Amino acid sequence: MAFQHTSPTSIRPTAVLFDAYGTLFDVYSVSLLAEQLFPGHGQAISVIWRDKQIEYTRLINTSTTSGGSVNAPFYKPFWDVTRDALRYACAKVQMTLDATAEERLMNQYRALSAFPENKSVLQNLKAAGIPTGILSNGDPGMLDVAIKSAGLDGLLDHVLSADSVRFFKTHPAVYALGPEALGRPANEILFVSSNGWDALGATWYGYQTLWLNRQQLPVETLGTMPPHIATSLTDVQTLF
């Protein structure tokens, strides 16, 4: 699928925010270590791990105690959610996850492989004077390690974590972090995500969005399409 403009806006973006997990960092790169630890199950573990991780963030966002007096009362940092999801994934494939294997996989998740085009794209945006940042469910410690291990340190102007508002995407409080940090309205900010649900949530919030559809998945069928769809991060540069 070539780069598509599905409903382009007349407003040219003046800044760009990237989702982190799946967009800049390959969440399925953990399958290599998982396969070493659990032969024949590595790919399944990585897929279930990711799916359950996202499912848990949505459950936390939408659940409440009797009376509903506290927003997201079951909130826990993304690192803890990620560990919980790993434990579920191993149980689902009936593999025993001992403490050593758990720490090895969690440490691997902390330093996920980055997609190869990331650095050059961010360097080009920085050279052009375009403000950049990450807007992620990841908590600050996770994001700091991931950025440094990928060699992207110094290339991002903002690293915005959902942990600061104790919600996860697609809650509007998370998306609101972008306009607040960048000092401009959402419709002047390009938001880039490889997750179709995230691109849709950001579109509904008011961002200009680019869905980075690396896996050639179908478009979400809820009646709204991201204004831009691409298969490579390099296409971001054509919008500035």
- Torsion 28-33-39-41 (CA) sign: negative
Per-residue confidence (pLDDT) for residue 62, from 0 to 100: 86
Per-residue confidence (pLDDT) for residue 72, from 0 to 100: 64
What phi and psi values does residue 96 have, to the nearest 5 degrees?
Answer: -80, 120
% of the chain beyond a pLDDT of 90: 85
Catalytic residue among 19, 26, 139, 235: 19
Give the model's confidence band at 4: pLDDT under 50 very low, under 70 low, under 90 confident, else very high.
low
Per-residue confidence (pLDDT) for residue 228, from 0 to 100: 94
Do the domains 27-110 and 4-26+112-239 match in fold? no
Single out the residue of 40, 17, 53, 45 nearest to residue 29, CA to CA.
45
Q: Where are the alpha helices (DSSP H) in 23-176?
A: 31-37, 42-62, 78-92, 99-110, 118-127, 140-149, 172-175
Section 224-240 average pLDDT: 92
How many CB atoms are closer than 10 A to CB 15? 22
Is residue 66's pLDDT more than 70?
no
Per-residue confidence (pLDDT) for residue 10, from 0 to 100: 65
Dist. CA 69–CA 154, nearest whole Å: 41
Section 115-138 average pLDDT: 96
Residues across the chain: 240
Query: Structural domain boundaries of the chain?
Result: 4-26+112-239, 27-110
Calculate the alpha carbon distances from 196 to 85, 131, 136, 146, 167 in Å: 20, 24, 14, 22, 19
Per-residue confidence (pLDDT) for residue 97, from 0 to 100: 96
Section 112-132 average pLDDT: 95
Section 59-84 average pLDDT: 80
Least confident of 59-68, 171-180, 191-200: 59-68
6-22: pLDDT as tens digits: 666 668 899 999 999 99
Per-residue confidence (pLDDT) for residue 65, from 0 to 100: 56
| Domain topology for 27-110 | DNA polymerase; domain 1 (1.10.150)
Q: Encoding tokens for residue 9?
A: 């806006």
**CATH number listed for the domain at residues 4-26+112-239:** 3.40.50.1000
- 19 is known as an active-site residue: yes
Least confident of 40-49, 92-101, 104-113, 219-228: 219-228
